[in-house]
Amino acid sequence: MEVKNRISVLFSKYVAGEASKAEVAELLELTKSENAEQELDAEMELLWNQQQSTTEHDVDWQRIYDRAVAADPEIVPIRNNNTGIWLKVAAMLITVSALAFLFSTYKNSTTQPETYVSGKAAAGKMLVVYLNDGTKVTLNSGSELLYPEKFNGDKREVYLTGEAYFEVAHNKAKSFLVHSGKVVTSVLGTSFNVMAYPAMSRMSVAVLSGKVAVKNTSSEKLVTLLPKQRASLNIDKDDFAVDSVKEVSDMIAWSKGELIFDNATLEEIALKVGNKFGINVKVLNKEKIDRRITGTFNKQSFIEIMKAVTHLTETTYKQTKQDFFIY
């Protein structure tokens, strides 16, 4: 059925008091279509013209009027012995005004869709993104953030692939949500680090200031973190592992160009060192991928760091033109 005809049918049912809630919702939805306002004007004019030539027994104006009054407690009922024509006029005006009000409210309350843009840090580089609410996001090398040009809804939502340090502008009316894989991090205003690389088997959230809620969308498990706490989640598990971080600033040392590892796995180190230098580092020895080391690397070259890492993890390496393999 054409939109024009459907609007006519639904409008007639609405005026007759026979439209269900679903049909009223459908009518309001159709009013967003092209030329919908003209169609409604035509239907209202037709309704008015029809009542001029319709006998009192053809249209139950009392019922229409009573329904309209009942729907709005601010309408004062007419009290008059000669209410025939007034009922027609009042019912007509109230019905048309009510529908016009619903239409206006529906259009104004409909949240405008958010336009998302992407910010991506190139290999070996970092990228700072400022969101329109004042939030600052520092992206680690190879990481990407999907965010709206303007936050229009009742929440501030962004999507992260990789690692980023968030300094969220406080807004108690709009929570800030970071979607990263199957983990959602929710805050009002705080600073925290999210590490969620698709290539890694573990993701983590560490809090520098404020209070953060972290949820596993697969299992619905939720943990709340305070400053100097970190929640880690393996992709094949449902529960978070929560631990304390001695120097939480070490978690964001990468944002200052430093590499500080505290009991980090070989998998994490290989990825972060590779990101810093823009080199693809692969760990082929799966038996040693969870080997852990602690160390700080500032001005060392890529080869110097890799030699130290492979020595501490009792592994060896091989370098090709484009890749670096640990086995």
Q: What is the pLDDT at residue 189?
A: 85
The answer to whether 128 and 138 are in contact (CB under 8 A) is yes
In whole angstroms, give the CA distance from residue 180 to residue 170: 21
Tell which residue, 324, 278, 282, 300, has the closest CA to residue 121.
Answer: 278
User: CA 317, CA 302: separation in Å to the nearest integer?
Assistant: 12
Tokens at residue 103, please? 């239409």
Contact 291, 266 (CB under 8 A): yes
Thinking of the domain 258-326, which architecture would CATH place it in?
A: 3-Layer(bab) Sandwich (3.55)
Distance CA 64, CA 234 (A): 62
pLDDT at res. 7: 72
Q: How would DSSP label each residue in 107-146?
A: HHHSPPPPPEEEEEPPTT--EEEE-TTS-EEEEPTT-EEE
* CATH number listed for the domain at residues 116-248: 2.60.120.1440
Report which residue type is found at 318: K
pLDDT (0 to 100) of residue 56 = 46
pLDDT at 52: 54
Give residue limits of the domains in the chain.
3-109, 116-248, 258-326
Q: What is the per-residue pLDDT for 87?
A: 47
Instruction: Name the nearest CA neighbour of 110 among 28, 38, 40.
Output: 28
Averaged pLDDT in 10-residue chunks for the chain of 327 residues: 66 71 67 63 63 52 53 47 46 52 52 81 93 96 94 92 96 94 92 93 93 92 94 88 88 90 90 89 89 89 92 90 88
Q: What is the pLDDT of residue 174?
A: 93
At a CB cut-off of 8 Å and minimum separation 6, what does 192 contact?
Answer: 165, 166, 168, 185, 205, 206, 207, 208, 210, 212, 225
pTM (two decimals): 0.64
HSE, side-chain direction, 13 A CA sphere, residue 95: 27
Nearest to 97 by CA among 48, 32, 62: 48
C-alpha 251/C-alpha 243 separation (Å) is 13
**Residue 8 has what pLDDT?**
74
